Amino acid sequence: MLDLLTPLETVVLRDESADATVALAPSRGGIVTRFFVGDRPVLYLDESTLLDPTKNIRGGVPVLFPSPGALAGERFHHGDATGSMKQHGFARQRPWTVGHQDESSVTLTLDSDEVTRAQFPWDFALRFRYWLEGTRLHISQHVENRSASAMPFAMGFHPYFFVPDGEKARASIATPATRAFDNTTKTTGPLTGPIDLTLAEVDLHLDEHATLALADGYRVVVSASPEFRRWVLWTLRSRDFVCLEPWTAAGDALNTGDGLIVLPPGHSHELWTEIALVAP
């Protein structure tokens, strides 16, 4: 695992008892790039996108803040405030600062600056703590509003889980959701029967959590605090990943207001997310 790291991945977390390893690249959006249990990759990573700063990284666990999904016309109006940003927000493109670190945990921070204020006119501080416990990666998220006005935001993650394309027919999704928004057809309808992960594209937005069962009986379990009400399932044919993404709000929430978290001046909010590889 360690031989695979690039110079960008400057943080490595280890749990020796579980033979688990997580790597992060703070300079590339504070992204978790790799998660191994023994020699088994939990995450997919297209390393060429990691190494090219002009590209969004395809793989790992990108951070989606302050707006998961796409804004209509890449712009928003919230009260008297306006802004513009590309899909999934800017946090995944900004360099994060490394704080306290030990063998199994690290704290990364991102503060507003001129670049973020040009897109999102609020001052904020993000403090994420990542810690590895067995085969579980915990992510606590502390969001502070340092502005003089109330700050709206949504939070999300975009984990790419490693599922070889040839094994997707034997992988499955378990969810209590009974309806889904299909982003490929822009329609909402009942969710009946198993989800076919072998289609050319699957892009389903669920209002309940979901679990990914792999072909060999292992499960990838994503858990999150109650604010995460949107669960996005995405995969493409011929690509070795299945994404299971927890979001606190649907795309365009900064325009619609649906599901937004709004922080008064000087206030903060805590959220948490967990990614686990569970043996059969």
pLDDT at 4 over 80: no
Average pLDDT over residues 233-259: 97
Averaged pLDDT for residues 45-66: 96
For residues 237 and 60, give the distance between their C-alpha atoms in angstroms, rounded to a whole number: 18
Predicted confidence at residue 3, as pLDDT, reads 58
Q: Give 204's pLDDT tier (boundaries 50, 70, 90).
A: very high
pLDDT at 63: 98
- Entry pTM: 0.96
Residue 36 parent element (H or E): strand 31-37
pLDDT at 101: 95
Name the CATH architecture for the domain at 2-278: Distorted Sandwich (2.70)
Strand-pair partners of 16: none
Read off φ and ψ for residue 167, nearest 5 degrees: -105, 0
Q: How high does pLDDT run on average in the chain?
A: 96
Percent of the chain with pLDDT strictly greater than 70: 99
CA–CA distance, 68 with 85 (Å, rounded to integer): 11
Predicted local distance difference test score (pLDDT) of residue 278: 97
**If we measure between CA atoms, which residue out of 134, 142, 68 comes closest to residue 111?**
142
9-28: pLDDT as tens digits = 999 999 999 999 999 999 99
Cβ-based neighbour number of residue 190 at 10 Å: 9
Partners of 156 in beta bridges: 64, 247
Q: What percent of the chain has pLDDT over 90?
A: 96
pLDDT at 2 over 60: no
